[in-house]
Structure 1
């Protein structure tokens, strides 16, 4: 079971990425917000891959990064160690009745327990530091 199978509303990302579930390794972490209502934990993440067939609006505007906002509900425990201004992290979401979130990098470690995870926002933008269109292997090489 992949991380997208644990999301309550995976349809939007599945429409955009098709059968290619975006990995949560080498993710750009832009923000973490904790709210007492719920309580909730909101994560704003730049996915490391771009869809092979993006929406027309994204293609027309030359976007090359997909940003998602994940909202964890029913948060019962959070532990955060470290911080940095440029955080590339690995995100792991598992479930055994409760959701366990683990975020790790050389500068940040975060663990949280929750009851649900929802995609609350999907957006795209142009990051000048990335290639405009990801190069796909044509299958002719090793």
Structure 2
């Protein structure tokens, strides 16, 4: 089972990545927000892979990076050890009674249990620090 099979709304990512879900290893973590409503945990991250056949408007704009926001709802456990401003991490989303999340990098570890995970946003942009294969 892939991580995308655990997402409540995988359709958008499946359309953008028809060749299979992008890996969650080597992601650039931009943000982690905990909110009391739900309670929820939001992770904003750049995927390490860019689609082979991106949407036409992304291609025209010269985008080279896909950023997604994952929303974990009904968080029942959360643990954060360490912190950094430049986090390249490996994420693992597994089935549990709901879903479990583990984020591991050299500088931080995040683990959580949640009732669900949803893709709340998918955007593309030009990351000037990343080489484009287009």
Is TM (by shorter chain) over 0.5? yes
Structure 2 residue aligned with 1:107: 107
1:60-83 Cα shifts (integer Å, max 9, x gaps): 110000000000000011000111
Deviation at 1:131, TM superposition (A): 1.3
Q: Distance in 2 between matches of 1:130 and 1:35?
A: 31
- Number of aligned residue pairs: 134
Q: Secondary structure at the match of 1:131?
A: coil
Q: Normalization by structure 2: what TM-score?
A: 0.97
Please state whether the residue corresponding to 2:101 is helix, strand or coil.
strand
Match of 1:35 in 2: 35
Identify the structure with the greater strand proportion: 2
Provide structure 2 residue ranges, at least 5 long, that are not aligned to the other structure: none
Could you tell me how far 1:98 is from its partner in structure 2? 2.3
d(CA) in 1 for partners of 2:130 and 2:44?
18
* SS at 1:20 equivalent: coil
Superposition TM-score, scaled by structure 1 size: 0.92
Q: Find the aligned partners of 2:45 and 2:27 in 1 and give their Cα distance.
A: 6
Give the structure 1 partner of residue 59 of structure 2.
59
Root mean square deviation of aligned Cα: 0.9
Higher-Rg structure is 1
Matches within 5 A, 1:55-94: 55-94=55-94
User: Whole-Å Cα distance in 2 between the matches of residues 119 and 49 of structure 1?
Assistant: 17
What is the match of residue 127 of structure 1? 127
Runs of 4+ aligned structure 1 residues displaced above 3 Å come to: none
1:5 maps to what in 2? Answer: 5
| C-alpha displacement of 1:27 | 0.3
Which structure 1 segments of 5+ residues have no match? 135-142
CA distance in 1, matches of 2:4, 2:98: 15
